[in-house]
Amino acid sequence: MSDNNHIAGIVNGGVFPRVVIIGMPGAGKTRIGKEVAGLLDLPFADSDVEIEHEVGTRIPQYFEEHGEPAFREVECRVISDLLESFSGVLSLGGGAPMFEDTHEALESYIEHGGQVVYLEASPEEAMERARRAGGRPMLAGDSDKRWMTLFEQRDPVFAALATTRVVTHGFTPIGAARKLVDMINEHRVHVGGADPYDVVIGEGVMNHLAEVLGDKPVRVALIHTATVQRHSDRARTLLRQGGYEVSDIVIPDAERGKTIEVANGIWQRLGEEGFTRSDAVVGLGGGAATDLAGFVAATWMRGIRYVNCPTSLLAMVDASTGGKTGINTPQGKNLVGSFYTPAGVLADLKTLGTLPNDIFTEGLGEVAKSGFIKDQAILSILEAHADDLRRFDGSTFAAAGADDATGTDAGFSGSGDLEDIVAQLIERTVSVKAYHVSADLKESGLREFLNYGHTLGHAIEKLEHFRWRHGNAVAVGMVYAAELAHLLGYIDEDLVEYHRSLLGSLGLPTSWNGGSFEDVLALMHRDKKARGNKLRFVVLEGVGHPVHLDDPPADAVEEAFRRIQQ
């Protein structure tokens, strides 16, 4: 699981709840909380039950005999103890977060990595359940009127406190629990800078689409390829449920969709359908689709809101994050574009279940790149699980159930350990990218290190007329950069061989023999890192230590190329 999320309630040597559930009376905190605990194989505790054990009597009786202030003191003490000693799923009484000391204890829990989920049921459902349950001191008298009064007081407090809000309207308890578990297991990476945003990774995170878009847009252009129709259907349903008018725009697959002709067709659609500066774009698909969608968003009326929903491993770890948008020209890849940050990125692991093996595997090239330039733990994870990753099978990785948007019980089951490994790899890789782009959005220095392996990689893609996938080309490009660094004394031969062995173990290519050195050299001179007539590479001085290599000797550039042809 994520470094940002505690596992089984253990963090920094301490023990505390995996999740705390808050909500109004009748929201289903206890029922749904028990289901969540069962799904996570964790114990469940209800603070009201623990309080009754503490005081030796029922809460209504204690309320009547001692009054609310005395009850809140006991409640705070019990909850504070649970926040420091209980490692399961904890449900709190409806008014608990309103007591100042309890609120502060929950804020401290959150600061240490805890998750507080605000369970939101419809008022009608919650009031009916509260009436049936009875015995609630705070709802004495006209219970419905009292419930609405409490809701007006508590809702803004709960919403501000919670780390996650889960709407349960229309869901059965088990359906709501599955939805909540998906959200608990989400990984979030914050990308800082002038326009910060979050990359959310996990099962079902596409459900956040309306939340990230916000309430200003009226119209949303959903830009996607035909190959991801199943996922675009889901996104369209979520958008319409969110109240947006959806323009469905299908583009050619892969690099064929990243052209000025395709972009111009979309601009015409937006103009004809009256898109304004307050409307939005959603890019859904692989890296080419999210690149194009971002470019359209950046250029329409000088910039409108957009959200990326990557559906391939490569797009999740690379193209969808960082604010690079662009199209290709006959002269090269991504030569026309802009830096324009999305409002958010939703990397829904469910979409990986429809990937063919080769498209999943190519994404591991960009994952490995991040390990080589920054995070050695990525390389360790890849080494340890190379066989499973190389044999990736979408049908076993993720078996699709009913759409989460329907509210049915059918859920989504993954392959357990491999799914968690992939989630870790995505989070770590995105974190590496966030580190570089937060400090250097427009690629003036630090961000160039993300181009490790790309100088030759882009040339291979162009010479292969984009029949080679990006991650595969970058894998060969990294071996080339390693050979060049070794020839010039930056690294030893063992690190070059480590590139070959690790990338090869993942099913990635490590050699290429599809073009002449003269053709490759001409394309490398057009690389965005080139300065005038001088070549500029990213090479390693060691794992985690990339450097710029300017104008290397011509014979070394050619010899390194010869070595990757073998």
129 belongs to an annotated ligand binding site? no
Q: Across 138-196, where does the E strand assignment appear?
A: 164-167, 187-191
Helices (H), 273-416: 287-299, 313-314, 357-373, 376-384, 386-390, 394-397
Give the residue among 448, 430, 428, 432 at the shortest CA–CA distance from 440: 448
Tell me whether residue 154 is annotated as binding.
Answer: yes
Residue 352 annotated as binding site = yes
- The reply, when asked if residue 419 is annotated as ligand binding, is no
How many residues would you count in the chain? 566
> What span, in angstroms and rounded, lies between the C-alpha atoms of 265 and 255?
16
470 annotated as ligand-binding = yes
Buried b (16+ CB within 10 A) or exposed e, 463-493: beebebbbbbbbbbbbbbbbbbbbbbebbee
| Residue 529 counted as an annotated binding residue | no
- Name the residue with tokens 């103009």: 271
- Confirm or deny that 454 is annotated as ligand binding: yes
Find out whether 121 is annotated in a ligand binding site.
Answer: no
CB atoms under 10 Å from CB of 225, counted, come to 22
312 is in an annotated binding site: yes
State which amino acid sits at residue 413: S
Q: From residue 336, how far is each of 13, 303, 331, 333, 474 by CA, in Å?
A: 51, 16, 10, 8, 20
- Is 514 annotated as contributing to ligand binding? no
Q: How far apart are CA 168 and CA 175, in angstroms?
A: 8
User: 77: annotated binding-site residue?
Assistant: no
- Known binding residue 311? Answer is yes
| 513/516 Cα distance (integer angstroms) | 8
β-strands 305-310, 332-339: how paired? Answer: unpaired
269: phi then psi, degrees, rounded to nearest 5? -60, -45
162 is in an annotated binding site: no
Q: 48 a known binding residue?
A: yes
Confirm or deny that 353 is annotated as ligand binding. Answer: yes
Question: Is 532 labeled as ligand-binding?
Answer: no
> Is 187 known to sit in a ligand binding site?
no
Tell me if 94 is assigned to a ligand binding site.
Answer: yes
Determine whether the annotation assigns residue 531 to a binding site. Answer: no
Task: Tell me: is residue 28 an annotated ligand-binding position.
Answer: yes
For residue 291, say whether it is annotated as part of any ligand binding site: yes
Provide φ and ψ at 447, rounded to 5°: -60, -25
DSSP 407: T
Tell me whether residue 289 is annotated as binding. Answer: yes
Tell me whether residue 473 is annotated as binding. Answer: no
Q: Residue for token digits 């005395």?
A: 70
Is residue 27 annotated as involved in ligand binding? yes
Phi then psi for residue 163, to 5 deg, are -85, -20
Asked if 400 and 412 count as a contact pair (C-beta separation under 8 A), the reply is yes
Contact 231, 207 (CB under 8 A): no
Question: Is 361 labelled as part of a ligand binding site?
Answer: no
Has 29 been labeled as part of a binding site?
Answer: yes
How far, in whole angstroms, is CA 8 from its chain's centroid? 21
The answer on whether 30 is annotated among ligand-binding residues is yes
The answer to whether the annotation marks 242 as part of a ligand binding site is: no
Is 163 annotated to bind a ligand? Reply is no
Helices (H), 488-566: 493-505, 517-524, 554-564
Computed from CA positions of residues 385, 389, 395, 397, in that sequence, does the dihedral angle turn out positive or negative?
Answer: positive
Residues annotated within a binding site: 26-31, 48, 72, 94, 136, 154, 253-258, 287-291, 311-312, 324, 333, 351-354, 366, 454, 470
Annotated binding site for substrate: 48, 72, 94, 154
* Binding residue numbers for Mg(2+): 30
Binding residues for NAD(+): 253-258, 287-291, 311-312, 324, 333, 351-354
Residue list for the binding site for Zn(2+): 366, 454, 470
Annotated binding site for ATP: 26-31, 136
